[in-house]
Amino acid sequence: WLFIAMATSHWLVYVGRALCGLCVGIASLSLPVYLGETIQPEVRGTLGLLPTAFGNIGILVCFIAGAYLDWSQLAFLGACLPVPYLLLMFLIPETPRWYISKGRTKRARKSLEWLRGKNADVTEELGAIEKAHVESERTATHSAVEDLFKPANMKPLLISLGLMFFQQFSGINAIIFYTQLIFK
C-alpha cells in the first residue's frame, strides 16, 4: 500500500498492487487454516465464514472511504489497516495441531489452554488431536492428490470447483471494480 500511496509513476502502482495481491493471497490461505485448526468443531462452520464476511465488509469500507478520500489517502488507509493483524500475529500461539506434529505436546497443551481459556479442561481435545495426528501419519503413505481424485471425493471436488468457477465468471469482479460508477 505504501508503494501505491507514494507512487510517482504507474510502475510503482503496479508493484504495489502485485505485493498487495501476494500478501492477500498468503493471508487468504493461512487464516482459514489457522481458524480450522483452532476453532471448536461445533462452531467451526459458522466462524469459518468470518474471513469472507470481513473481506466483503472491507470492500464496502473502501468504497465508502473512496467517496471522501483521494487515491493516495485511501492507499495510506489501506496501509494502516493490516497493522493490527501484523501485531496480533506475533501474540497468538501456533496451533495445537502444529505443536503435536512437531512432538511438542506440552506446548500444544499451553496453546490449547490459551485458545480455550486457562480454566478449560483441554485433556480430551488434546487427546483427540494426538489421535488424529497418529492416524494421519499412519495413512500418509500416498499423496493427497490421489485422495483428491478418489470416487468418493469427486462429487464434492466438482461442486467446489464449479462454485468457484461460476462465482468468478458471474461478473463479481466487474461489479466490484465498477461499483462506484454503478451507484453514481
Give pLDDT, residue 25: 83
Give pLDDT, residue 142: 63
**Are residues 44 and 53 in contact, defined by beta-carbon separation less than 8 angstroms?**
no
| Residue extents of the structural domains in the chain | 1-92
Q: How far apart are CA 141 and CA 81, in angstroms?
A: 43
Decide if pLDDT at 173 tops 80: no
- Local structure of residue 94 (DSSP, 8 states): P
Q: How far apart are CA 140 and CA 146, in angstroms?
A: 11
* Residue 86: exposure state from Cβ atoms within 10 A (0-12, 13-18, ≥19): exposed
Residue (of 45, 54, 51) closest to 32 by Cα position: 51
DSSP letter string, 135-172:
HHHHTTTS-HHHHHTSHHHHHHHHHHHHHHHHHHHTTH
What is the overall mean pLDDT for the chain?
A: 84
The 10s digit of each residue's pLDDT in 68-115 is: 888 888 889 888 888 888 898 898 888 888 898 898 989 988 888 888
The average pLDDT across 134-151 equals 74
Give pLDDT, residue 123: 82
Crossing angle for the helix pair 50-66 and 10-38, nearest 10 degrees?
A: 150
Enumerate residues 6+ apart whose C-beta is below 8 A from 153.
147
3-class secondary-structure state, position 126: helix
Q: How far apart are CA 123 and CA 76, in angstroms?
A: 46
| Cell numbers found for residue 64 | 465508502
The average pLDDT across 172-181 equals 77
Decide if pLDDT at 140 tops 70: no
Enumerate residues 6+ apart whose C-beta is below 8 A from 132.
97
Four-residue CA torsion sign, 147, 150, 154, 155: negative
